[in-house]
Structure 1
Amino acid sequence: MTTTQARSVITGIFGHEFRYAWTPDEARDLVDAILYGEPEQFAQVYVWDRPCRQSEDGTVHEFPPGRLRITTDRENGWGALNYMHPGTPDGDLVDSFNPDTDESAPVLLFDDEGGLLFPRSASLPLDQVRGAIAEFCRTGARPTCVRWQPGEWF
């Protein structure tokens, strides 16, 4: 009997631009683009058995249920994460949590179009954000390398 392991595809969405990663090197490049690429400071990442896609007219909308949303403040070295996966036992909507947050941590935008904000306690140093994105790209599950708190926004 032969077993075939499904190959994951990572979809990164920057604004309305879709980028895909099939290999570990491409995944690393995608993480770098999320953290340091221009001009977007907002990204979403999906891990699935095929590329996510969406048509211009909205008739095609193919995404898995789990998603990692990332906001970065590159100039100051901060980022925040939002993980959503409906129906999971560990909470279907959570934001990153930094127990050491103080007034020096920025309040980051969750959504630039809606003006929604992350709580200040969601702000993490970019190296922690990098680790969480990389873990999500490998596993497709909520990253365990950072702490989480209940989220407000989808």
Structure 2
Amino acid sequence: MTTIETGTVITGVLGHEFHYARTPEETADLVETVLNTRYSQIYVWDRPCLSFRDENGPSFPHARVRITVAPDDGWGALNHMDARPEAVNGEAVDSYNPHATEEMPALLFDPEGQLFFPASASLPLDQARQAITEYCRTGQRPSCVQWQPGQWY
């Protein structure tokens, strides 16, 4: 069997639509699109992710970043999940804003249900942009923001 080197593919699931980025320019555009879409997920892999609607789908890596934004209010929240067997008990963490106040918006974690991020997960969009960009570049939990324990939803 022949393997073709594809490099890294960033898959953005915005609502139920799959978007792919392979170049730095496409990735920068995808990050900005994510920051203007209320609910998204980002996967970094050596191939495109596939929906269950695809002939060979579903197909996803073990880790992802889930993003909820309130673009008009300037806030976003992130959840990093890593379900690899070698991850200790798996990992589910939410972004953490040590300067959070009671006035922080409650951002919806799951558009299909009534699950919300804690208010302390709300970050200014510039910080969310930095974290999403870092994740797209490294495929690892971003280190440019702080994290707090999350839940497996």
TM-score scaled by length of structure 2? 0.90
Counterpart in 2 of 1:113? 112
Aligned CA distance change for structure 1 residues 152 and 90 (closer, same or farther; 3 Å): closer
Structure 2 residues without counterparts, runs of 5 or longer: none
- Aligned residue in 2 for 1:20: 20
Counterpart check, 1:47 vs 2:41: no
Q: Distance in 2 between matches of 1:59 and 1:139?
A: 26
> How far did 1:90 drift?
9.7
Cα gap change, 1:6/1:88 in structure 2, threshold over 3 Å: closer, same or farther?
Answer: farther
Tell whether the 8 Å contact from 2:6 to 2:47 is kept in structure 1 after alignment.
Answer: no
- In structure 2, the partner of 1:135 is 134
Match of 2:72 among 49, 71, 75: 75
CA RMSD of aligned residues (A): 2.1
SS of the equivalent of 1:55 reads coil
Identity of aligned residues (%): 55
Deviation for aligned residue 1:65: 0.2
SS in 2 for 1:152: coil
Scaled by the length of structure 1, the TM-score of the pair is: 0.89
Distance 1:21 1:90, change over 3 A: farther
Q: Report the alpha carbon displacement of residue 152 of structure 1 after superposing the two structures with TM.
A: 1.6
Cα distance in 1 between the residues matched to 2:115 and 2:56 = 27
Cα 1:18–1:10 change in 2 (3 A) is same
The reply to whether residue 34 of structure 1 matches residue 34 of structure 2 is yes
Pair 1:90–1:22, CA change in 2 (3 A): farther
Give unmatched runs, 5+ long, in structure 1: none
**CA shift for structure 1 position 150:** 0.6
Distance 1:153 1:114 in 2: 14
Whichever residue aligns with residue 18 of structure 2, its letter is: F
Gap change, CA 1:89 and 1:46, over 3 Å in 2 = same
